[in-house]
A and B are shown apart, each in its own frame.
Chain A
């Protein structure tokens, strides 16, 4: 009885401290259970809601798991050809310089087929925001090896683990583009714990604020899990990510205000 009383007292609209933002379309996300894409989508939409820029934000969706992002994000979206999202975003931003333009890309899209577009858009210093979800695998097509796959990591095309002499080294595209002068803000975050989610949201907010000031390209990498591609449960995959991905892809800011940051380890 006491519990019932407490609940009716608490369940009032003015007592809501957190709810799914209305800028996410009210339909189930197509992602696997525990996938970081959902959290990244929600943080992005929360930032857009807080800045009140829904009507002048244009997103470019990639090819990959998040190709259907335009089904979930209640803003103007364009689907780009595989890897060409930064080129398309460049065109949109030059047509409408007062709009906020971002691309949302996975590692197969941004770091493999779209490497040239990514590097040249970054080098030109376009005033766009790139959100890069890195899970070290091609998730949508069945977990094949991506450029970002870790050495020794198993995937469906490297069943004995990535062998560096024959398959090459993993590509740290974020560090690579951080050295380009056109890039203003580069950071690497994660979305698997509340603390990391808050930091990611702050980074996204900062990136959009900087885009408003026409400072240059802002690049946010989000290290995420792919539990179905890695063949683990969501909780196991988050643990595996902490143990294996974070030592290689170290979290934290890489470039702030156009200046490279000294390497700091922020793994918890």
Chain B
């Protein structure tokens, strides 16, 4: 059986930690990291595998740091 799987890749060096994507995600896939990036911001990161590739987080990201992948993955 095929299932839609999504994944996001966050360019953590460009993330400014505004947290707008957290509210946009319907599956709470994104959380803020404890570490900071080179600019000193707590960056967004993916914390679970619930992502469906809906692109909501990428659409609202003011800095466009999120790339979204979506694919049909065969599962048993």
Determine if A192 is an interface residue (Cβ-Cβ < 8 Å).
yes
User: Does B47 sit at the interface, judged by CB under 8 A?
Assistant: no
Contacts of A18 in B (CB 8 A): 55, 58-59, 66-68
Task: Return the chain B residue nearest A198 by Cβ.
Answer: B59
By a CB distance below 8 angstroms, the chain B residues around A197 are 59-60
Query: What residues on A are CB-neighbors of B7 within 8 Å?
Result: 6-7, 10-11
A29 touches B63 (CB 8 A): yes
> How far in angstroms is the closest Cβ of chain B from A233?
7
From A9, A17, A33, A37, give the contact of B68 (CB < 8 A): A17
In the complex, the answer to whether A9 meets B73 with C-beta atoms within 8 Å is yes
A11 contacts across to B, CB distance below 8 A: 7, 9, 69
Q: Which residues of B contact A234 (CB under 8 A)?
A: 18-20
Report Cα–Cα, A21/B62, bound state, in Å. Answer: 13
Contacts of A16 in B (CB 8 A): 67-69
Indicate if the CB atoms of B60 and A192 lie closer than 8 Å: yes
Within 8 A of A (CB), among B37-70: 41, 49, 53, 55-56, 58-70
Number of A residues, CB within 8 Å of B? 38
Which A17-43 residues sit within 8 Å CB-CB of chain B? Answer: 17-21, 24, 28-29, 31-39, 42
Q: DSSP class of B's interface residues: helix, strand, loop or mixed?
A: mixed
**Contact between B70 and A33 (Cβ–Cβ < 8 Å)?**
no
- Interface size of B by CB at 8 A reads 33
Please provide the chain B residues from 9 to 29 with a CB less than 8 Å away from any CB of chain A in the complex: 9, 14, 16-20, 22-24
A42 touching B20, Cβ below 8 Å:
no
Which residues of A are found within 8 Å of B60, using beta-carbon distances? Answer: 39, 191-194, 197
Given A9-B73, A10-B73, A235-B19, A39–B62 Cβ distance below 8 Å?
A: yes
A12 within 8 A of B: yes
CA gap between A42 and B58 in the complex, in Å? 11
Among B17, B41, B53, B62, point to the contact of A17 (Cβ < 8 A). Answer: B53
B20 touches A192 (CB 8 A): yes
**At the interface, yes or no: A3 with Cβ under 8 Å from chain B?**
yes
Which residue of the partner chain, among B49, B56, B65, B68, contacts A6 with CB atoms under 8 Å? B49
Residues of A bordering B, CB below 8 Å: 3, 6-7, 9-12, 15-21, 24, 28-29, 31-39, 42, 191-194, 197-198, 227, 233-235, 238
